[in-house]
Amino acid sequence: MPLKITPPVGARTLAGRTLGRTLGTAERTAKQGVRWALGHGLPRTAIVRSARKGDLQGDLILSGPGSHTFDLVDLFEEFRARGPLYQGGFSHLAVDHEVIKEVLTSNDFVTGFFAPDESGTGLLARAATWSASDVFAPLQPPSLLATEPPEHTRYRKLVTRVFTVRAVEKLRDRTAQIAADLLDDIEEEAAASRMSVDLVTRYCGLLPITVISEVLGVPVELRERMLELGKGAALSLDIGLDWRTFREMEASLEEFDTWLRGHLAYLAEHPGDDLLSQLVALRDDGDRLSDKELRAIAGLVFAAGFETTVNLIGNGIALLNDNPDQLEILRARPELWSNAADEILRLDPPVLLTGRVARRNSTIAGQEIPRGTIINTVLAAANRDPKVFADPHTFDVTRENAREHLSFSGGRHFCLGAALARMEGELGLRLLFERFPDLELVGDRERHPTRILRGYSHLPARLLWPLETSHP
């Protein structure tokens, strides 16, 4: 007769816990798998399948990671030649300035990737609800980028006043000081090493993150780590990621979220004179914001505050390096720097495209759009619409209507940080080229692997030529 072995109580509890943990891990992995399938695997399969049938859309949405916006210009023209609204197998796609503005400002179109199933009973809706993660993600509700009125209006009101043109003007002197300090550092390094300096890691990335950290009350010492996490998290805007990249991206978001929870808890105990402390206090005031809402607003404003402007400054350096005649114009007429920032945003925008879903049957550009249709609005293509911009592929810092670009989107979701980005772009570029009049990009420029966010990850430059150049 086999011996009946009864494990001691402690061991049983341990086994239970281990089983519980294993089940917990299995469930987490299953949910992660469903999130990947819904956000990346299935859309990728659909896009690739319709690309095989000649659909041009795949070339754009799955364009080679790290490709330059200029590589896509011929594709924009192919879409343009086919009319104002291209009907792809996966979604519709707009490259026309007027049509994109119409979609972005229409109440018939909302943010979000999946066909809105308001009852929440469809298979996709149920799978999305089951697998939803509690971790902050820029394109998941309750992020500003993924909510609509009335919630969106309520959230946005809480943060708008800090980013108005007037409020941003007050940050100008401090921004100039931060830029000057960074330039001092790199000048010292360039003079000592006589080597090229990578302007993205030493300048373009550090300027916006330092400014937004000060506005929000995030310790500046964390900026290098935050930039690292931002790199991983930026991939969350892309579609069709492979499983490994997706997991790495979620790991970055998770670490960011853990830090954010801890930081907000700290501010609840030790409030400062900054925007995040004010948001935390608001939550403590009553039933105004849930923890998740607070993290969504704080996380997005912080991440959007540094993940995009780095590319405006980097893309601007490259354009000005490649077009010395435009730099000459700016030297002679420095009042044009602000317009130059808009012309850079127009020609080489940090955000390639965004998208909207029809929440009811609608009509756009004379075409009937059934409820649930996704329209990808290609901001970078609208910026080269010849109906709006004369000689659209030419970089012209004197262009009178450069500001009509759609790089900050439009309508309810118009970029909250547009004034701040413009000010940082203008100042950041002007101060750099004033300090190093002989700046020259050397060696290989490298681009970020992201598709939606466009910019350089490395821009090696020779700054001092002749080397003994110094400034007062």
Q: Which is nearer to ligand HEM, 88 or 208 (CB)?
A: 208
| Per-residue binding letters, 72-111, with ligand HEM (x by CB under 6 A) | ---------------------------------------x
Contact pick of 103, 249, 304, 374 for ligand HEM (by CB under 6 A): 304
Q: Which is nearer to ligand HEM, 51 or 178 (CB)?
A: 178
User: Of the ranges 113-121, 177-185, 319-327, 403-411, which one interacts with ligand HEM (CB under 6 A)?
Assistant: 403-411
Answer yes or no whether residue 217 interacts with ligand HEM by CB under 6 A. Answer: no
Instruction: Locate 191 and state its tokens.
Output: 């003079």
Q: Which is nearer to ligand HEM, 88 or 410 (CB)?
A: 410
Q: Which is nearer to ligand HEM, 51 or 299 (CB)?
A: 299
Answer yes or no whether residue 216 interacts with ligand HEM by CB under 6 A. Answer: no
Instruction: Locate 410 and state its tokens.
Output: 């439009």
- How many residues of this chain interact with ligand HEM, rule: CB under 6 A? 25
User: Of the ranges 57-65, 86-94, 305-313, 328-336, which one interacts with ligand HEM (CB under 6 A)?
Assistant: 305-313
Cα–Cα nearest to 412, from 108, 84, 61: 108
Instruction: Locate 387 and state its tokens.
Output: 């109906």
State the Cα–Cα distance between residues 95 and 108, nearest whole angstrom: 19
Least separation, in Å, of the C-beta of 100 and ligand HEM? 10
Answer yes or no whether residue 277 interacts with ligand HEM by CB under 6 A. Answer: no
State the Cα–Cα distance between residues 38 and 221, nearest whole angstrom: 37
Q: Which is nearer to ligand HEM, 100 or 267 (CB)?
A: 100
Answer yes or no whether residue 301 interacts with ligand HEM by CB under 6 A. Answer: yes
Cα–Cα nearest to 381, from 341, 355, 425, 346: 346
Cα–Cα nearest to 247, from 49, 448, 61, 39: 39
CA angle 76, 317, 448 (to 5 degrees): 60
State the Cα–Cα distance between residues 421 and 403, nearest whole angstrom: 13
Instruction: Locate 147 and state its tokens.
Output: 């909510």
Least separation, in Å, of the C-beta of 280 and ligand HEM? 18
Answer yes or no whether residue 167 interacts with ligand HEM by CB under 6 A. Answer: no
Contact pick of 41, 116, 232, 305 for ligand HEM (by CB under 6 A): 305
Alpha helices per DSSP H over 132-222: 151-160, 165-169, 172-193, 199, 206-216
| Per-residue binding letters, 345-384, with ligand HEM (x by CB under 6 A) | ----xxx--x------------------------------
State the Cα–Cα distance between residues 5 and 3, nearest whole angstrom: 6
Answer yes or no whether residue 439 interacts with ligand HEM by CB under 6 A. Answer: no
Instruction: Locate 412 and state its tokens.
Output: 């309810």
Other Cβ atoms less than 10 A from the Cβ of 371: the count is 14
Answer yes or no whether residue 156 interacts with ligand HEM by CB under 6 A. Answer: yes
Length of the chain: 472
| Per-residue binding letters, 107-146, with ligand HEM (x by CB under 6 A) | ----x--------------------------------xx-
Q: Are 326 and 395 in contact (CB under 8 A)?
A: yes
Q: What is the largest CA-CA distance in the chain?
A: 100
Least separation, in Å, of the C-beta of 75 and ligand HEM? 20
CA angle 350, 201, 309 (to 5 degrees): 25
Judged by the rule CB under 6 A, the positions of this chain that interact with ligand HEM are 111, 144-145, 156, 163, 300-301, 304-305, 308-309, 312, 349-351, 354, 407-409, 413, 415-417, 420-421
